[in-house]
Structure 1
Amino acid sequence: MTPTNRRFSEPDEKLARKLFDHFRRETRDVEGVSRPAYSDMETSSLKYLEEFAEGRGLHVEYDAAENAVFSLREDAKATQFVLIGSHIDSVPQGGNFDGLAGILAGLLCLLKAKETGVRFKRPVKVIALRGEESAWFGPCYIGSKALLGRLNAEELNARHKGDKRTLAEHMHDMGIVLEPIEQGEPLLSPSSVLEYLELHIEQGPLLIEKKLPAGIVTGIRGNFRHRNIRCIGEAGHSGAVPRAYRHDPVFALADLLTRLDDSWLTLLQKGNDLVLTSGIVGTDPERHAMTRIPDEVSFSLDVRSQSKAVLQGMREMLAQEMTTIEEDRGVRFVLDDEHCVEPALCDSRIVAGLSSAMGDLGYDPFQMASGAGHDAAVFANAGISTGMVFVRNRNGSHNPLEAMEISDFMVGTEIFYSYLMEN
């Protein structure tokens, strides 16, 4: 079906394209874009949005975590509001739409209301969050966790992958007062947020396969992650040490991943939700060689599910399998600190409202789960009613090949606008 009740016009679409093009140009890297969390680049990106919004007559302020907050001027002092948000940072050499699309969708909704002189059913504010991606420090959803008093000491002490300085040091450089964050005090009262809404590109292929421009999210997978697990063995000559006398960490890791994969398949066959990824695997190229049994291999592990029970079961199984392999192969696994996020469900009333808005635009409403994590999960787990819209996107995300069509983005934005006008 095609839309029958468009509220956004061709000039709105041209404006969206112009904004996306600006960020692609100004934050470009060797490939794709890089907007590091808690960096000057992230700050300059927020500054551009500030100047753009103020130039269009919107109110702009920064909260205590140095996230940018936008609103209609008449709603600037509202003590309760619907909050639309997403993140301004990106992964290294990532795509231009991940995160940014959610901020621009919210801004376009504000501008359309201002242009037409209409009022939303409730006050609306848009937030551009810092530091959602885990690629820079390890912890994810940093900006939203800091806002809601959920950023812990280990996360604050996490070190940047490049300069090795702590997250706390980087946040201090941005002008953020750390004491309330360190004490777990919310910088934003959850009671002030009537609802949290987030638009995001889909990071999988479902909407492509369904031939739909957008979908309504029902829930977000939680996860636990290890950035750097070490498997330590014993070095030796590749031709001189028989199998029985080897302590080979690479084959130990192969055993572990095979066992995890077998368990993954079993859980899926039983109807459980689970995905596993080991995205970083390697030996030290300075010390290891083709003819040497390595003495150590390091790897990452990312385990995700919509079920708390499945996540806990995988934690326990991981520990058990590591113990068994240590005994079988004479190696030792050393885990770094775990980073975790609880699964989150979207509010069923918001899901219904967004689905109705999608139907009013002339599309068959489609509901789906989110395999990736989002700031929305932090808001939902803080007891804030939460909803999400996904926009069709080819080639996945976290890579330069993200391919969201601006026309699809406008459909997602129209779903939000229609919902805000009716709810």
Structure 2
Amino acid sequence: MSLAGDLLDRLAEIGADPPGITREAFGRGENAAMALMTETARGLGLDCATDAGANLAMRWRGSDPSLPPILIGSHLDSVVQGGNFDGAAGVVAGLAAIAALKAEGFRPRASIEVLALRCEEAVWFGLGLIGSRSLLGRLPPGALDLPHARGGRSLGQCIAECGGDPARLGAPLRDPRGIGAYLELHIEQAPQLIEAGQPVAICLANPGNLRHPHIRIHGEDAHTGLPHRFRRDAAMAGAELALALERLWRDEEAAGRPMAVTIGRFHTPAERHAMTVVPGEFELSLDLRAYDAAHLASLEAKLQGLVGAVAAARRVEIDLGPRSSAAPGAMDATIQAELAAAATARGLAPPRLNSPGSHDANNFAAAGVPTGMLLIRNEGGSHNPHESMELHDLLAAIDILGLWITQRTG
């Protein structure tokens, strides 16, 4: 079996959590995956180091230390009972490409680093892309105090326990101006390549996001027979807000402004809800996504308007709670052209597509690093046990990556 296939099988064993995969950030799953990558990288003769954010860098030293390094990265954590390939395929691809180039006798002039970035998934702290935020000095104020979803340890404690130094995370750990390029391989998260019948795509852009993980609506508990005019129904207010956001989404898409609305949590408090009580409390989460910073800002303003209108109409209070955001990530045009040329040389004609997901690549692009992404065909969606990337599609992407590396650093 190929190195890539073997590593993915071993990662599946590490994260096994039927019916899916769980590699908890800063926990057993992510730590064991980091250890596996370290073992593999050292077997390939790479230098391994952990930075102050507890990210893992695996370096193939180039012959010319004056040249800025090329970074290839992604993450190893997963959502709870997700799939095996989201994130992990990108780290595996970087190591597999280096193994193939070494076997061919290639020696890069610039150093190549494969990054395994910590905690990309927002499920663990209500904040995503933590590894790349740490690396590039983009953690928001108060982030180190955020509690882990399992056990409540603070982010700062988790980083320290995994070999990092949270006291150093106020400034970039790497000067973005000293990075030659960042490239990320990732499974597609909408079946665009299934639809196109192609194994890989060149990414045009990733959306930024605005997130409110703990929105709370406060109304008034009441008897189920209470007439409508007296009600302050928090659940109905939640439903009205959700439908208003759906209408906003449709209107924006119809106007040619792509975006997405996701409400992942939507419920009355489990300890209090009952069939014969008008609920006075309701909770939900919200993720808004768009591909342009100005569009995202306009959506945030429209959200405020919708919240005010629903609160007034339903006579409730709506507390949006904590807020986090990630900048949109437009991919570098030069890297897109280089990847297209490499794909053509391999007999492929990959389409150019937007990714529906935010990725660590967003932070590198926002920091001014020339950034590119390859998307890999994946049936079954993402963040669920049904992710279904075929190994031959991953190998096609690795082949393009390897050729791009030789053209960039040879």
TM-score under structure 1 length normalisation: 0.93
- Write out per-residue CA displacement over residues 101-157 of structure 1, whole angstroms, 9 at most, x where no aligned residue: 000111011111211211235321111111111010011110111111111232222
**2:319 — aligned with what?**
334
- 2:355 aligns to what? 370
Displacement, 1:189?
1.7
Which 10-residue stretch deviates more, 384-393 or 21-30? 21-30
Matched-pair contact (CA < 8 Å) for 1:113–1:120: no
1:406 aligns with 391
C-alpha separation in 1, matches of 2:146 and 2:19? 27
Give structure 1 regions of 4+ aligned residues with deviation exceeding 3 angstroms: 73-79
Q: Which amino acid in structure 2 is aligned with residue 347 of structure 1?
A: D
User: Where does the alignment leave 5 or more consecutive residues of structure 1 unmatched?
Assistant: 1-10
- 2:132 aligned with 1:147: no
C-alpha distance in 2 between matches for 1:270 and 1:246: 36
Other-structure match for 2:123: 135
Q: Does 1:285 align with 2:270?
A: yes
1:209 aligns with 2:191: no
Asked whether the 8 Å contact 2:198–2:350 carries over to 1, the reply is no
Please state how far the C-alpha of 1:77 moved relative to its aligned partner: 6.2
Query: Shift of the alpha carbon at 1:388?
Result: 0.2
| Uncovered stretches (5+) of structure 2, i.e. residues with no partner | none
Q: String of CA shifts for 1:289-328, please: whole Å, max 9, x gaps.
A: 1111011010000000002222112211111121122121
Change in Cα spacing, 1:133 to 1:77, as seen in structure 2 (3 Å) is farther
In 2: Cα distance, 1:152 partner to 1:329 partner = 34
State the identity %.
Answer: 37
Deviates more, 1:188-197 or 1:212-221: 188-197
Q: Is 1:167 equivalent to 2:166 in the alignment?
A: no
Look up the match of 2:3: 15
**Bigger mean CA deviation after superposition, 212-221 or 71-80:** 71-80
Q: CA RMSD in A?
A: 1.5
Moved more, 168-177 or 118-127: 118-127
Are residues 1:108 and 2:96 paired? yes
Code of the residue aligned with 1:104 in structure 2: it is: V
The answer on whether the counterparts of 2:62 and 2:110 sit within 8 Å (CA) in structure 1 is no
Deviation at 1:54, TM superposition (A): 1.4
Number of aligned residues: 408
Corresponding residue SS for 2:95 = helix
Determine the C-alpha separation between the residues in 1 that align with 2:397 and 2:84. 17
In the alignment, residue 109 of structure 1 is paired with which amino acid?
A: A
8 A Cα contact 1:59 1:71, kept in partner: yes
Question: Contact 2:52 / 2:166 at 8 angstroms: preserved in 1?
Answer: no
2:23 aligned with 1:38, yes or no? no
SS at 2:382 equivalent? coil
Deviation at 1:76, TM superposition (A): 10
Task: Write the distance in 2 (CA, Å) between the matches of 1:278 and 1:311.
Answer: 17
CA contact (8 A) 1:98 1:200 kept: yes
Moved more, 130-139 or 117-126: 117-126
1:6-405, aligned counterparts within 5 Å?
Answer: 14-73=2-61, 80-120=68-108, 122-181=110-169, 184-239=170-225, 241-405=226-390
Q: What's the offset of the Cα at 1:74?
A: 5.0
2: CA distance, partners of 1:195 / 1:340: 24
Distance 1:158 1:362 in 2: 47
